Every structure is written in C-alpha cells, then in structure tokens.
Amino acid sequence: MTTALQRLLLSNTLARQGDDSFEGVAHVDAGGRIYGGEILSQAIGAAQQTVEDAYSLHKVHADFLIMGKVSEPVNYRVDRLRDGKSFVSRVVTARQHGEAIFQASMSFHRQREGVAHRADMPEAPAPETLVSDAEIYRQFLGGREYGLAVEFFQVDPIDLHNPQPKSPVSLTWFRACGEVPRDHRIHQQLLAYASDNPIMIAALKPHGLSLFSPDLQMATLNHTLWFHHDFRMDDWLLFEAHSDFVGGGLATARARIFTRSGELVASAVQEGLMRYSG
C-alpha cells in the first residue's frame, strides 16, 4: 500500500464531534483547494456511519458550493431525512468556519432480487500494456511527482506537450495503489474519490486541451454517482466517459464503470466549470 493510499484511508476515518457530526482533514492539495473526490468520499463516510449495515449506498448527488481550503479541517453534518424499510435518505453538509462549502444527498437501499440487465463493456487494451498517468505527468513536470491514492492508465492519453482535438470519449483503467480492507463501504468511498478525476477528460479532448493547458480554468460544480453492484477498488476497473456538451463556460460528462470481467458496477454524471481564454 502506498503512502498516499494510507493517508486517504486515514483521512476517511472521520472523528465524531457529536450526534451525526464528524470532522475530517483533507490531504490532497489541488492547487490550494480540496480535491473534490476527497470531500465527496469523506461525506459518504460520514453518512455511512449513520446507516445500518443492511443498507448500501446506491446514489449520491453532490453540489460543490465554494472551494474548500486544504489546510483547514472540514465539519460534516448528517441530517437523517428518512429511515424506511427499503430506503434510507441522508443529506450531508460540509462546512469550514461555519460556511457551507459542499452538500450531498444520499440514498441507501436494502437490495432485493429481481430482473436485471446491463450495458456491455467497451473493448479496451489491457492496463498492463499502457503507460500510467503518474509516469506521463512525471515526465511532463520534469520529475515532480503527481501521485494520488489511485493509479490511472488512459487508453488514448492527450499529448500534454502538443494536445490535438480528438473524439469526446475517454477510456481509463484505474485501481487503488494497494490492497484495500474488505469493507464494501470503504470501496464505495474510494470509487467516489477516484470518479472525480477522469470524467472531464472527455470534455477536454474535442478542443485540443489538457488539464495543464495555460488559461484553462476547471472546477467540479456537481457530481452524481450510482452504485449498481459490489466491486473491489484493488482490482482493475474501466472508466468509460463521454462528454455530450461544452458551452457557455460549462461542461457535462457521463461515465460507466466496469469490472475487468465486464460487470457494470457504477455510473456517474458530472457538470463542471470549464473556462478557456487561450
């Protein structure tokens, strides 16, 4: 297990501050602000502590209100909206110095057997044949590390030195950088953490832009994630993203997440700020 993964698992172990109130500290510095995936994963961890184990998170919708400061602790307040026989509803509000910076609504479900179908997994080369984002960024940044607790391998990465327009589709293999405890709640937290990273790459591709393009400003505005089946974050997962719209300083993208064997385990949709003055 890498140091980054150890720190993430530790940061997601929130300190209880009272009834349904928790405190966390971010460890990923995204340019002086909290990385959106980290605050989302901590909020999920807070809500999970207020729900019986028989119920599993199946949907989370998050709104990122203002940028959080990575140097300051975050308070998570969980409101119990409903405890039903099949569904449990929670709202989590994250605050710094009393000001709301993030809010998420979550639904937990007691699973039942029934009819089923799923989308087919797209064809993709094996992750072992690809170059990791960490290595691509290391070369681009002159040896400086750009490490997260999850490793990503893009099927068709953007050339950071000379980005060219491509189709608004991206395929990315990813997994945790080490073995993860056998607790499905932790794996859900880590998938939420990871899902904020590759989804908007699809929106950049048609415009010949990369995350490192000068004069580009990007930030997550809202993010919705559905969990369909159990999975393991220390096994390979394929993140398939499509961007259907960019305009007016906004961008949207949707994603499907598959196991290596082809099981659809999660879906996501994100809207983000995307301003380019170049």
pLDDT tens-digit profile of 67-115?
999 889 999 999 999 999 999 999 999 999 999 999 999 999 998 888 9
CATH number for region 3-113+127-276: 2.40.160.210
User: What are the extents of the domains in the chain?
Assistant: 3-113+127-276
Query: Which residue out of 154, 220, 224, 252 is catalytically annotated?
Result: 220
Query: Which residue out of 133, 189, 196, 234 is catalytically annotated?
Result: 196
Radius of gyration of the chain (CA): 18
Question: What is the distance, to the nearest Å, from the Cα of residue 236 to the centroid of all Cα atoms in its chain?
Answer: 15
Residue with tokens 């040896």: 143
Q: Annotated catalytic, 159?
A: no
CB-CB neighbours of 83 under 10 Å: 14
Q: Annotated catalytic, 63?
A: no
pLDDT in tens, 167-209: 999 999 999 999 999 999 999 999 999 999 999 999 999 999 9
pLDDT in tens, 5-46: 998 999 899 999 989 999 999 887 777 789 999 999 999 999
- For 229, the token pair is 């089946």
Residue spans of beta strands (DSSP E) within the chain: 15-18, 21-24, 56-64, 74-83, 87-96, 99-109, 150-154, 169-176, 216-227, 237-247, 250-259, 264-276
Q: Annotated catalytic, 215?
A: no
